[in-house]
Amino acid sequence: MVLSAKGQPELRAASIALKRVSREVRSDINAALRQQGNDIWRGEVAGKTRTSLDTAILGSNVRVAAGNPPVAIAAGSRRPIGRGRRLVPDRSWAAWEFGTDNKDTYSRYARKSKNGGRHQVERRTMRGLPPRYRKGRVLYPAVRSAAPRVASLLVKLVVSKVMSAAEGSR
């Protein structure tokens, strides 16, 4: 999730203010946004996960990268999970977020046998995926509920930190 200031005058003003304030004020705003935004984003993602695999795949490396604009990150782990260590959340998150229409699709690939020869294998590799959800199951609904809260938090932090810096208390 990247907050966009299109059609949002408050966010546009906050974005301009972030560009114009001193480095100390900007780092204070980013630190506060990171701390409080992480609580919001992690809570939304944790509230939407349904299974332990959802948590392992979609709920890995959930954080807010503060900046202008701030970015909400999820499913960012590059560490393989599962018995075969083939499922990498960074690459496989979309399959778990949106599911599949046809679980009986065959995949053909070549593998090496124990004797060293190569042969073709035909398997239904989509069997373990959830059913199709066009609007997403975990992350997209979490973004829909977290984005307004993070945007409001950003505007509030910019106003309060800029006002306290203008008063001289930084």
3-state secondary structure of 79: coil
**pLDDT tens-place string over residues 37-61:** 999 999 999 999 999 989 999 998 9
Give the model's pLDDT for residue 140.
Answer: 95
Give the model's pLDDT for residue 23.
Answer: 93
- Report the share of the chain in percent with pLDDT over 90: 61
Hey, what are 92's tokens? 């496989």
**pLDDT tens-place string over residues 77-108:** 999 988 878 889 999 899 999 998 888 889 89
Q: Amino acid letter at 104?
A: D
Is this structure's pTM higher than 0.85? no
Summary mean pLDDT of the chain:
90
Tell me: pLDDT of 150 over 60. Answer: yes
The answer to whether residues 100 and 126 touch, using CB atoms and an 8 Å cutoff, is: yes
H-helix or E-strand spanning residue 107: strand 107-112
**pLDDT tens-place string over residues 154-163:** 999 999 999 8
Tell me how far apart the alpha carbons of residues 145 and 10 are, in angstroms, rounded to a whole number: 19
Give the model's pLDDT for residue 158.
Answer: 93
Tell me how far apart the alpha carbons of residues 70 and 23 are, in angstroms, rounded to a whole number: 16
